[in-house]
Amino acid sequence: MTDASAPGSLRAGLRRLATGLIAYGVIGLTLALVATIALVVVGGRLSTLGGRVEERLETVVATLDRTSTALTDAAASATSSAVTIERTPPIVRQTAQTIADLQADLRSVQDQMGRIQILGRQPLAGVSDAFGRMASNLDGLDTRLELIADDLDGNRTALLANATSLAAFGHQMAVISDDLEGGAVQDSLDDVRFAISIISIVLLVWMTIPAAGALWLGRWLRAEVGED
């Protein structure tokens, strides 16, 4: 390359550089415009989503409130039933003891009547047998009543445990309902929208400034090269 051709080659290189800078600037600004449109669309979608979520949350909160009330009522009913059951086993055990005593008395009466003899006969033998049959009919009844009393004690314990669990679950449902009704989800969506907006603006600035600078530099460079 001769010294005479050097300025021409340099000018051609500068023109190509200017063209590249202008192309870079145009592409960058176009992408920034597309990103801005996408940001607007996404913001609109998020706003629509926020509205839908708010509508759904009203239904969810109402359902949680009803569930919490139902669980609390169920816990109260279980507690009340447990109190009633708690009073029943002593009565059942007392009945079992009464039956055991009655059976013993019937056996005693049977034995005594069976021993009565008049002129070598036992005129009360039939009555004695009747008392014996009544005593036999009561066999095992006191034991079964004792088992029923034990089962009632176990059921009372289970009911109290269920009542505690239901009350705790109902309270948890109420807390969740209060959180949702207080706008926790809406605030989170607002935070997401704000974060996306900030990040998008930073990216747009990061894309726009170099693109605009490259476009300006390319136009200036082309103008300078064209003046010679």
Residue 197 vs residue 120, higher pLDDT: 197
Q: Are the C-beta atoms of residues 21 and 218 closer than 8 Å to each other?
A: yes
* Beta-carbon count within 10 A of 28 CB: 19
Residue 77 vs residue 114, higher pLDDT: 77
Predicted confidence band at 56 (pLDDT cuts at 50, 70, 90)?
Answer: confident
Q: Is 4's pLDDT higher than 60?
A: no
Query: Which domain does 105 fall in, by range?
Result: 8-227
**Is residue 124 in a domain?**
yes
Q: Is 211's pLDDT higher than 50?
A: yes
What's the rounded Cα separation, in Å, for the pair 101 and 141? Answer: 12
**Is residue 162 in a domain?**
yes
pLDDT at position 185: 64
pLDDT at position 1: 44
Q: Is 99's pLDDT higher than 60?
A: yes
**Is residue 1 in a domain?**
no
The pLDDT tens digits for 128-143 are 777 778 777 777 777 8
Residue 92: which CATH number? 1.10.287
**What proportion of the chain, given as a percentage, has pLDDT over 70?**
84
pLDDT at position 7: 61
Residue 118 is given by DSSP the state B
Number of domains comprising the chain = 1
The b/e string for 162-177 (b: 16+ C-beta within 10 A; e otherwise) is: bbeebbebbeebbebb
**Is residue 24 in a domain?**
yes
